Amino acid sequence: MKNIRVIAGKEFRGYLNSPMAYIIICVFLLVTGTFFSNYLKTISYTDTTIKGFLQLAPVLLLLFGAIITMRSLSEEKKLGTWELLLTSPVRDAEVVMGKFFAAVGIMAIMLVLTMYYPLLFAVFKAHPDWGPIWTSYLGLLLLGSAAVAIGIFVSSLTNNQIIAAVVTGGILFALWYLNTIATANYMPKALGQVLNYFSLKYHSDPFGIGIIDTRGVIYYLSLIALFLYATVRSLENGRWN
């Protein structure tokens, strides 16, 4: 655990020392804030949900997840520190977990800063329903963590950050829009159910209405574990090749 904390701390400080992290956070807050405020203009005063924020936040997390992780391992290859990483006295799993927790930390900061939206309701005595709000944030954190895990895996396969970001984004948005394909009229019901289960959006929606679906939690945790394990194997192959 000590090595993981050290690596995570080093990577996290690396993110904070880069202007990219601040640009991503600012753009995320600007776009979600715009959607949130525009939504407030179209609803009645009795609606105290954060639907305006939730309409766009999941898609932005997928996009920024690809951007945040594109440098995690591909940069090591580009800068020539890949060999040092492979020969360092730490296990591959510790390297992967450290980088994972650092990127998730950036995601968590992005989400914590958006707590300003529901707090507005509380300040103005609008009595928001905190149950769905907390479950929504839990769902977003799980979604963002899954995006990070996939991004780190793709980053371990190439030394080009742009390729890593594009491929990661392609995988994430394909998994997200599986739900749209699954519910199409031409799709057989049995196949649609299978595709739905593998859809990020299908498991994300219940969190937004206050439901902590154990199937969704298991799905996201399994996805995270699968891609982190695949990243460890990728590092092992790189060590021997």
Q: Render pLDDT for 150-161 as a digit per residue (tens, 0 to 9).
A: 999 999 888 888
pLDDT at 80 over 90: no
User: Residue 231's pLDDT is what?
Assistant: 92
- Segment 133-149, tens digit of pLDDT: 889 899 999 999 999 99
Q: Dihedral sign for Cα 178, 179, 180, 182, please.
A: positive
Using CA atoms, how far residue 56 sits from 21, 28, 170, in Å, is 19, 10, 18
- Segment 47-76, tens digit of pLDDT: 556 777 888 889 999 999 999 988 887 776
Quote the domain boundaries for residue 150.
2-240
Total domain count, the chain: 1
User: Residue 203's pLDDT is what?
Assistant: 87
Query: How many helices (DSSP H) and strands (DSSP E) are in the chain?
Result: 14, 0
Share of the chain above pLDDT 70, in %: 85
Least confident of 19-28, 49-58, 65-74, 85-94: 85-94
- DSSP assignment letter at 150: H
User: Residue 168's pLDDT is what?
Assistant: 93
Average pLDDT, the chain: 83
Scan for tokens 């655990």, then name that residue: 1
